[in-house]
Structure 1
Amino acid sequence: MKVKTLAKQVATILGVPFSTRGFHETVTYIAERIENGQKTHVVTANPEIVMLARENRAFQSIVEQAYVVPDGIGIVYAAKWTNQPIRERVTGVELLEALMTEANKHQWGVYLLGAKPDVISLAAEKLAARYPNARLVGYRDGFFRAEDEEKIVQEIAEAKPELLFVALGAPRQDEWMVKYRDRLNASMMMGVGGSFDVISGKVKRAPEIWQKLHLEWFYRLASQPSRWKRQLAIPRFVLTVLKEKWSSRS
């Protein structure tokens, strides 16, 4: 299969280069790259990730070299305010499920890393049942010591997964993947944050009506009040985008 030559499809939001491809186009693009042996590091970025990159130069450098998708309605609104062509969200958990569908179709190998021991084992069990033709070549929780990393890297390298999903939280998950990128033998690696918690059933995703109303962030805050400090990134993101927009007009 040959990857189509496409014009560069990037929109820059506060220094972060986002893909402007829609959800289905994104899945097709990543799948074609995997089929062609091209390695891809996917970052699912919401306003919190954008603000983190803005404040952390090392993380910003990682994001600049990755394939970044707009995970969060705040990114879509920011693109609209700055007249850039991002039309829809590409959420991490939905992208993971869509890529698992591709893995099921092509019998790709999949490795899962991160989350709590009970969460990752349950997520692995559910994904294996849901996508029986995908090869679950291994999984490991995220509570490991520095001295365990070499063994984990070797295990992943030997498994040679087409898909490597890592849930260690930002920016650690992307820093970890980039640190070992050349040794992991993974076709595509993607940080998935709390996706394993959702897949395992430990955390419930917002009902569809909340998603359609673009209030998923508020549902999560109401369900997990301890997230309030993290959610402060949203108003800071909005104010920073609008400030830059007004500054560019003056």
Structure 2
Amino acid sequence: MEKRIRFLEANLDRYSFHETITQIENYIALKKPVHHTGVNADKINLMKTNPRFKKIINEAALVNPDGMSIVLAAQICKQPKLERVAGIDIMIRLLEVAATKGYRVYFLGTSEPILNKMISRIRTDYPTLLIAGYHHGFFSEPDEVKIVKNIQKSKADILFIALPSPQKEYFVDLHMSEMNVPVSIGVGGSFDVIAEEIKRAPKWMQT
């Protein structure tokens, strides 16, 4: 079955949540840098006006529908069925897997206080997790060079990025090869959720 469709000028993968995790682990095993991203209504709108952003999204190895608006729009337009795969759910599951299998993880994004709070909680919740490194998301261009070098030296298997769009997509596009991290994944506001700075919507609203 073809797993990728073209809808609203975006490439979208039809992987389930569990299939997505399997694909990510396959990429980690291959040790070849790839970009994993999610698409919601805001990103669809940004793709309409930003050709560079659109190209980066559509060339990503994994593109999950991360918003019920995309899933429902596909249903209304009689497209092949899509499953919403949220970045926060992917991140939490990958932390569990990494803590068990020894994958090294690096965190980039949010403010320094929130990042430190998240790291503290993650160390408590996943004591066996190998944290390769972390850096807040408020950095200048000279700092960016140092951060990329630090990520490369960390030998991380997974890079979680919580920067706004299109900053995070540009960052991955520019530095993916140099960082040499098997999977770079944008996770939106997940750092803030894990740090308990913001709450997720109730389940009924998510669906």
Q: Mind listing any 5+ residue stretches in structure 1 that lack a counterpart?
A: 1-6, 215-250
Contact 1:11/1:86, CA 8 A, preserved across alignment: no
* Alignment check: 8 A CA contact 1:23 1:90 kept: yes
Confirm or deny that 1:181 pairs with 2:193. Answer: no
Q: Matches of 1:73 and 1:31 in 2, distance apart?
A: 25
**Hey, what's the Cα distance between the residues in 2 that align with 1:31 and 1:85?**
25
Residue 37 of structure 1 and its aligned partner are, at CA, apart by 2.1
Alignment partners' CA distance in 2, 1:151 and 1:39: 19
CA distance in 2, matches of 1:78, 1:207: 21
Structure 1 residue 128, shift from structure 2 partner: 2.3
TM-score of the two chains, using structure 1 as the length reference: 0.79
Q: Which position in structure 2 is the counterpart of 1:26? A: 20
**Aligned match of 1:63:** 57
The residue identity in structure 1 corresponding to 2:5 is: A
Query: Which segments of 5 or more consecutive residues in structure 2 lack a partner in the other structure?
Result: none
Choose from 1, 4, 29 the match for 1:35: 29
CA contact (8 A) 1:17 1:68 kept: yes
Report how many aligned residue pairs link the two structures. 206
Residue of structure 2 equivalent to 1:135? 130
Larger C-alpha radius of gyration, 1 or 2? Answer: 1
Amino acid at match of 1:52: L
Contact 2:65 2:82 in 1 (8 A): no
Runs (4 or more) in structure 1 with deviation over 6 Å come to none
Contact 2:17 2:85 in 1 (8 A): yes
Q: Which amino acid aligns with 1:163?
A: I
Normalised by the length of structure 2, the TM-score is 0.95
Q: What secondary structure sits across from 1:105 in the alignment? A: helix
Q: Which has the higher contact order (CA 8 A, sep 6+)?
A: 2
Offset of residue 38 of structure 1: 3.5
Identity of aligned residues (%): 33
Q: Could you tell me which of 11, 15, 26 is aligned with 2:9?
A: 15
Q: Secondary structure at the match of 1:148?
A: helix
How far apart are residue 34 of structure 1 and its match? Answer: 1.0
CA contact (8 A) 1:70 1:76 kept: yes
